[in-house]
Chain A
């Protein structure tokens, strides 16, 4: 009876070891599938060069962020050591996060794209798809804030066709003319949309749509009018 018990314990231990081993292998194979080496293999020389430039840009941005973060740490440490108020520092951090999140009205240089139904509900009608693509192109060109007819585009925004006449943005009903504002580097934003033939504007104009771009030194973009909060998503500690 005693021997049996020992055997059982040994078996369980072996079982646990196997389980651990299995988990390790699964984790390992997961890691491999996430490195997109296959994609790299299929890329042309020019694409690979673009890839390198893109990563280098990301690197520079992250480096700036790191320097900024380190500077912040220093300033907070100073307030701890000298008993100064930390609230001013905190307020500036909070302002930045509200600006990019959409809780604040923001302003800055940028562009305004105007899209108009050529004939209401028929030929040259602007659809939700046109606006979805435009927002995507603006994001790709580095837009820091976007709005459509005064509705701030935030990370949970959506754009849908409601009827022949109306488009829904953030659940609000809007109608032509559509005024899409974007704040960011004017040069990047403009060149991002104005590529000859294949760029957003030329593509849409060729489809018979009325799309125009205008640059501005001071674009003002409203704060998001809804509330931003999560009901289902919880932070992973």
Chain B
């Protein structure tokens, strides 16, 4: 009898979560359709073109990913049994990881930033309540100062060629548009939490300015790989 009761309770909870998930999902889709509807008259052709170009890129990138996997396989096969070559291959793999070309995981910090929407729109300094591209630049800089090893902004990996730019009211990371709320994930020692929240730290300054900031520690963060390519068209090795 007791067991049955337990089962019933578990089922109830699962059903409840399911219902909430479905509602959230339906709401998201509805919101999307509404917003698409409002601009149908204006730039819908251009938006379609952006989406189809993006899809073309995604398909090509998938091909590229497959080719890179294949390359790794033939490379391993070609260097099998050669001690020196195996070491070189190991370094190449490590370099690719350091360059952000592989997905990585580890302990770290998750920072959520959002515009403060509880501000009257006639407030004079409305801008200070919003998240700007320079905020992201400084937060990233502060994380690296605290010895972060890998960072992503809304799932876009921050690499050595990543620019964070503002284009009117749009923020771009790696050339791709991102919107609030912004999630910055960093793989680093969890202990830097105390450094980040110190008075006078950049995040505290943002809190003081009225931006919505949430910081949490996590035991396992997964950070995606960079989804673009590095160019070395103008680089040659120089003399030491």
A residues within 8 Å of B by Cβ?
4, 7-8, 11-12, 14-15, 18-19, 21-22, 25-26, 28-29, 32-34, 36-45, 47-52, 54-56, 58-59, 61-66, 69-70, 72-73, 76-77, 79-80, 86-87, 89-91, 93-110, 129, 132-133, 136-137, 139-140, 142-145, 153-160, 183-185, 220-221, 223, 228-236
Contact = CB atoms under 8 A, between A and B. Distances in A.
Nearest to A21: B18
B239 A105 contact: yes
Contacts of B236: 99, 106-108
A66 B84 CA distance: 27
B217 interface: no
Interface string B58-76: 0011011001101100110
With most chain A CB atoms within 10 A of its CB, the pick from B11, B74, B102, B160 is: B160
Contacts of A7: 4
A-side binding surface: helix, strand, loop or mixed? Answer: helix
B99 A100 contact: yes
A155 B89 contact: no
A87 B39 contact: no
A55 B149 contact: no
Interface stretch (B112-120, B136-144, B204-212): B136-144
Contacts of B96: 97
Nearest to B175: A54
Contacts of A233: 97, 104-106, 149-150, 187, 223
A98 B42 CA distance: 48
Contacts of A97: 92, 95-96, 99
Contacts of B104: 230, 233-236
Interface of B: 3-4, 7, 10-11, 14-15, 17-18, 21-22, 24-25, 28-29, 32, 35-36, 38-39, 42-43, 46-47, 49-51, 53-54, 56-57, 60-61, 63-64, 67-68, 70-71, 74-75, 77-79, 82, 84-85, 88-89, 91-92, 94-100, 102-108, 134, 137-138, 141-142, 144-145, 147-150, 154-155, 158-165, 167-170, 175-179, 187-189, 222-223, 228-240
User: Lowest 5 A-B CB distances belong to which pairs?
Assistant: A140-B163, A86-B78, A107-B238, A155-B160, A97-B95
12 contacts: A26-B21, A58-B57, A62-B61, A70-B67, A91-B88, A98-B95, A105-B240, A136-B165, A144-B234, A184-B234, A233-B187, A235-B103
Contact of A228 (B98, B107, B170): B98
Contacts, number: 303
B60 A41 contact: no
B160 to A, nearest CB: 4
A76 B173 CA distance: 35
